[in-house]
Chain A
């Protein structure tokens, strides 16, 4: 077990004009579960692979524990990795798959046997130890891949989108299993995913990446409630946060012809991007005029897609709420996020107040 320190790490592929990953600084505490999340091509896998040693680091330093590992072979970094497509050796049985890494490290046979047995018990793979991977289901294969990581008792686990190949139901249960396993072993983990739900549910801390740079680092709820930019706001949370062009004049926010009072004089004036989560909108008698386009039924919740002042907006309602073609909406107190329109960065937020809006005559 160890901490991982990533300082000023960048990666430029040969022949590429711009770096794929630039200037990443991240320190991971011992035993922490860190999730790297971002859209495809944001550099999250590259970063993980640099920590693993599968990709050369072109700038900066990676420390695992207190050892600089930039030039250390993957096998000697004391890490274990779980791959998206499992990467099990197809010609070896489950037992051999798990034991292979230990055998290469000249671990005594009795030790190998007890560790494999322990991992198999933990992952409920006992009955399958003598099967070949091809005779296993996707979930079982991924458990074997995790078993292979666990038996090594490494300083850190690296997960590269391990659940992407599984079906939705299995993904949820495997997610729980990974979390439980990590809690129990207390092994520092770095986990890459493009699925924000997976990221939210697994992480101690979340790292949101965009175009090779860190957008925000923080606990899942921190990021959810205080997104640092429009990118994070639209990426984390489902449905995505509504982002609406608006303008601040004095102490109120103007969305089209609707005025939302903010309670106090605002430092930022002029055009802003207003972010409102779907569940932070309430139906009221008067306020933002909302026209319904279509409705998505999710069972526990009903997502109403429509327009407000010509801009698309999504609204989450309880299933028993009455549906009309048009609503008036108000924003829940303290739930309005303001972003700079040009840079997308978060602006100082208005103090919480009641944003009962009124339509200007």
Chain B
């Protein structure tokens, strides 16, 4: 079984190249100047201007009002990503807890209502959502950016399935041990869901981090710009004969790539555990 199979390796290497090359090109190209890129195209070799490009991107007061730096955008994206992930976990866990452990009328009907919202992406309700946020005066605020997207059918579904797989005897043992509903959630369910939470955190963080349409609608002030919008902003300078700052766009793209990768690397052990096995 341990025979080396050249063809297998060939396929794996090909796959790896396919995934890694675009990133490598972006990294390499971002270390050249805009002029070089404009005249020579993309690079696969490092250039000498990496440090200054990244420094510029992170600190230059850009945009129309000159209020927003790369660092600022990164922070906004992080707030959005973490806010999304944490908010969605808390909300969907609470919803799933209610659905699984409390007997109330129409519980399964409610669950299926929640579940069908999976079929309705944000874009379908984007106008009414905007209207609501606008009426509440939450445009241009982090609350307005995060809260309307917190309800998560996916998360509720995952947690519901997980809670259902927790043996009933655990609940009964806890009841006999004198743990009320809240204590049971805090002392038993949440510790048991750790891997599950890690998995959902990754998915939702990336989802929040990559939001583009919603932040664009909700925020008009540049201090709320996220990295996703920043990248586009850089390329939008077709004024006169100015060359777009390709290098900066690439640098920003790399910066936008880093945190989700970091999150995945940190959480991946739990992520895999959460999706494949349960801690029982």
Binding site for B on A (CB under 8 A): 52-54, 73-76, 79-81, 83-91, 100-101, 104-105, 148
A83 touches B279 (CB 8 A): no
A-B CB contact pairs (8 Å), 18 listed: A52-B176, A53-B175, A54-B172, A75-B175, A81-B173, A83-B173, A86-B169, A87-B167, A87-B169, A87-B170, A89-B174, A90-B279, A91-B188, A100-B179, A100-B187, A104-B179, A105-B178, A148-B173
Alpha-carbon distance A79/B188, docked complex (angstroms): 21
Nearest CB on B from A225, distance (A): 37
CB contact between B177 and one of A84, A86, A101 (< 8 Å): that residue: A101
Nearest CB on B from A264, distance (A): 55
Measured CB to CB, the nearest residue on chain B to A84 is B169
Nearest CB on A from B181, distance (A): 12
B172 touches A91 (CB 8 A): no
B177 touches A104 (CB 8 A): yes
CB contact between A74 and one of B170, B176, B188 (< 8 Å): that residue: B176
Given A90-B279, A91-B192, are A104 and B170 neighbors across the interface (CB < 8 Å)?
Answer: no
The answer, yes or no, to whether B191 is at the interface (CB within 8 Å) is yes
The answer, yes or no, to whether B232 is at the interface (CB within 8 Å) is no
Nearest CB on A from B254, distance (A): 39
Given A90-B279, A105-B178, are A85 and B169 neighbors across the interface (CB < 8 Å)?
Answer: yes
Residue among B172, B188, B192, B279 with the highest chain A CB neighbour number at 10 A: B172
Task: Beyond the given A85-B169, A87-B172, A91-B279, please list 4 additional residue pairs across the A-B interface where CB-CB is below 8 A.
Answer: A54-B176, A90-B280, A100-B187, A104-B183
Alpha-carbon distance A148/B280, docked complex (angstroms): 18
Q: Which residues of B contact A52 (CB under 8 A)?
A: 172, 176
A81 touches B191 (CB 8 A): no
Interface 0/1 of B143-179, CB less than 8 Å to A: 0000000000000000000000001011011111111
Alpha-carbon distance A331/B191, docked complex (angstroms): 64
Nearest CB on A from B195, distance (A): 11
Alpha-carbon distance A319/B73, docked complex (angstroms): 88
A79 touches B176 (CB 8 A): yes
Q: Which residues of B contact A76 (CB under 8 A)?
A: 178
4 closest A-B pairs by CB? A101-B177, A87-B169, A75-B178, A104-B178
Measured CB to CB, the nearest residue on chain B to A89 is B188
Nearest CB on A from B253, distance (A): 41
A85 touches B167 (CB 8 A): yes
Q: Which residues of B contact A85 (CB under 8 A)?
A: 167, 169
Alpha-carbon distance A317/B167, docked complex (angstroms): 46
Alpha-carbon distance A87/B174, docked complex (angstroms): 9
Measured CB to CB, the nearest residue on chain B to A91 is B191
B192 touches A90 (CB 8 A): yes
Q: Which residues of A contact B174 (CB under 8 A)?
A: 89, 100
Alpha-carbon distance A80/B169, docked complex (angstroms): 13
Q: Which residues of B contact A89 (CB under 8 A)?
A: 170, 173-174, 187-188
Alpha-carbon distance A321/B188, docked complex (angstroms): 60
Given A90-B192, A104-B183, are A83 and B169 neighbors across the interface (CB < 8 Å)?
Answer: yes
Alpha-carbon distance A101/B184, docked complex (angstroms): 12
Residue among A80, A88, A90 with the highest chain B CB neighbour number at 10 A: A90
Nearest CB on B from A59, distance (A): 21
Alpha-carbon distance A80/B174, docked complex (angstroms): 11
Nearest CB on A from B194, distance (A): 8
Nearest CB on B from A244, distance (A): 43
Alpha-carbon distance A70/B264, docked complex (angstroms): 52
CB contact between B176 and one of A81, A88, A91 (< 8 Å): that residue: A81
Measured CB to CB, the nearest residue on chain A to B179 is A104
Nearest CB on B from A52, distance (A): 7
Nearest CB on B from A80, distance (A): 7
Measured CB to CB, the nearest residue on chain B to A154 is B176
Given A75-B177, A100-B177, A105-B178, are A81 and B183 neighbors across the interface (CB < 8 Å)?
Answer: no
Alpha-carbon distance A84/B167, docked complex (angstroms): 11
Alpha-carbon distance A238/B279, docked complex (angstroms): 40
A80 touches B280 (CB 8 A): no
Given A100-B187, A104-B183, are A87 and B178 neighbors across the interface (CB < 8 Å)?
Answer: no
CB contact between B175 and one of A74, A86, A91 (< 8 Å): that residue: A74
Alpha-carbon distance A291/B279, docked complex (angstroms): 56
Residue among A53, A85, A89, A148 with the highest chain B CB neighbour number at 10 A: A89
Q: Which residues of B contact A86 (CB under 8 A)?
A: 169
Nearest CB on B from A158, distance (A): 9
Alpha-carbon distance A52/B177, docked complex (angstroms): 12
- Interface of chain B residues 169 through 223 with chain A (CB within 8 A): 169-170, 172-179, 183, 187-188, 191-192, 194
Q: Which residues of B contact A104 (CB under 8 A)?
A: 177-179, 183
